[in-house]
């Protein structure tokens, strides 16, 4: 049985709302899990050695290229070995944590995880993206249009020309409402968002892997 690959990137540990919602998914998930916590054990950012190693015969690699290639091989094999994915990626300064971007840059390799000549090896596999945020960025919100995280990741993770995953996104919002007096009036909206996020995550855990309607 293939596993769920859970990639965590929140720096806040157990206090992370994204991690808490992900735990609701994990509590209902039936099957093995491979968990990579990028906050506890970050992968290096992509270097020149990592880029050039992709196009050079391994027999000609420098020590730096060989080390960089070994890391990419490990991460790519881990990614491709999964049958489903759980990505815990909170919004930091309108975008993703740098730790998650570093992981993406290591695994996005032409003709390995995606190809320009057809579907990617992981195309169609289910993925849940959980992204908590302190405010609200949806239609009608004062900061509508300032979410540069979800659109980017839905494209990279889900577009047919890239990883091609079947992505569902859950965004617990207004997480600063319990802590910022200026947002106290928005506390009911935050609580409703949290309830919806946990419920959605638990439901998805029971449907991932099941045939989806065309």
Percent of the chain with pLDDT over 90: 80
Question: What's the pTM value of the predicted model, to 2 decimals?
Answer: 0.93
Indicate whether 6 pLDDT > 80: yes
Rounded to whole angstroms, the Cα distance separating 86 from 209 reads 13
pLDDT grade, residue 14 (50/70/90)?
A: confident
| Sequence-distant contacts of 68-71: CB under 8 A, at least 24 apart | 71/43, 71/44, 71/106
Domains of the chain, CATH where assigned:
3-207 (3.40.50.360)
157: CB partners within 8 A, 6+ apart: 85, 87, 127, 129, 163, 165, 167
Indicate whether 28 pLDDT > 70: yes
Q: Which of 20, 63, 49 minimizes the C-alpha distance to 195?
A: 20
Percent of the chain with pLDDT over 70: 97
Indicate whether 214 pLDDT > 80: no
**From its phi and psi, is residue 133 left (phi > 0), alpha (psi between -120 and 50) or beta?**
beta
Mean pLDDT of 161-180: 94
Mean pLDDT of 93-122: 95
Q: What is the pLDDT of residue 116?
A: 85
Q: What is the pLDDT of residue 213?
A: 42
Q: What is the pLDDT of residue 142?
A: 82
Q: What is the CA radius of gyration of the chain?
A: 18
Q: What is the pLDDT of residue 209?
A: 64
- E strands within 73-185? 82-88, 126-130, 166-170
């Amino acid at each position: 049985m293939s596993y769920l690959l859970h990639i965590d990137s929140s720096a806040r540990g157990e206090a992370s709302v994204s991690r808490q919602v992900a735990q609701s998914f994990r509590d209902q998930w039936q099957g093995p899990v491979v968990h990579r916590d990028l906050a506890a054990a970050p992968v290096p950012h992509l270097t020149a050695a990592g880029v050039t190693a992709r196009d050079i015969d391994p027999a000609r690699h420098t020590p730096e290229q060989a080390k960089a290639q070994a890391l990419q091989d490990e991460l790519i094999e881990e990614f491709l070995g999964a049958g489903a994915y759980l990505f815990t990626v909170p919004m930091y300064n309108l975008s993703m944590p740098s730790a998650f971007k570093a992981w993406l840059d290591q695994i996005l390799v032409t003709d390995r995880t995606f190809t320009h000549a057809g579907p990617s090896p992981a195309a169609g596999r289910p993925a849940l993206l959980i992204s908590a945020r302190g405010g609200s960025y949806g239609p009608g919100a004062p900061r509508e249009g300032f979410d540069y995280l979800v659109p980017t990741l839905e494209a990279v993770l889900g577009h047919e020309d890239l990883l091609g995953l079947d992505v569902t996104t859950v965004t617990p919002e207004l997480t600063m409402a319990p802590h910022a007096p200026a947002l106290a009036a928005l506390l009911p909206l935050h609580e409703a968002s949290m309830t919806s996020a946990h419920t959605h995550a638990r439901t998805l855990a029971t449907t991932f892997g099941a045939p989806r309607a065309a």
